Chain A
Amino acid sequence: MRRIPWRKVALALLGLAAVGFLAGWASELPDGLEWVLARLGLAPEAGQPFRSPLPDYRWAGWPPALEAVLSAVAGGLLVWGVLTLVGKLRQGNERP
Chain B
Amino acid sequence: MHIPYGLLSTEVSLATAAAAAPWVGWALWRVQRRYEERAVPLMGMLGAFIFAAQMVNFPVAAGTSGHLLGAALATLLLGAPAAMLVLTAVVVVQAVVFQDGAITALGANLLNMAVLGVLATRLVFSGWTRVLGTRWRAAGVLLAALVSIVVPAAACAAEIAASRLYPLPLVLGAMTGIHVLIGAAEALITLAVLRCIAAVRPELTAGLLGKGGGHAPDPVA
Task: Name A's B-contacting residues (CB within 8 A).
Answer: 12, 15-16, 19-20, 22-23, 26-37, 39-40, 42, 44-57, 68, 71-72, 74-84, 86-88, 90-91, 93-94
- Min CB distance B159 to A, Å, is 11
Residue from B33, B51, B57 having most chain A Cβ neighbours under 10 A: B51
Q: Which residue of A lies closest to B29 (CB)?
A: A90
Interface contact B45-A55, CB-CB below 8 Å: no
Interface contact B32-A94, CB-CB below 8 Å: yes
Residues on B with C-beta less than 8 A from A28 are 57, 65
- Min CB distance B155 to A, Å, is 12
- Min CB distance A40 to B, Å, is 6
Number of A-B contacts (CB under 8 A): 191
Please classify the interface of chain A as helix (H, G, I), strand (E, B), loop, or mixed, using the class held by over half of its residues.
helix
Q: Which residue of A lies closest to B4 (CB)?
A: A44
Task: Name B's A-contacting residues (CB within 8 A).
Answer: 1-7, 28, 31-33, 35, 37, 39-41, 43-45, 47-53, 55-60, 62-67, 85-86, 89-90, 92-100, 102-104, 153, 156-157, 160, 164, 166, 170-171, 174-175, 178-179, 182
A-B pairs with beta carbons under 8 Å apart, 29 shown:
A12-B48, A16-B49, A19-B56, A20-B52, A26-B58, A29-B57, A30-B64, A31-B67, A33-B153, A34-B64, A37-B160, A44-B4, A46-B6, A47-B6, A48-B99, A49-B5, A54-B99, A56-B100, A57-B100, A74-B97, A76-B49, A76-B52, A78-B93, A84-B41, A87-B40, A90-B32, A90-B35, A91-B35, A93-B32
Interface contact A57-B89, CB-CB below 8 Å: no
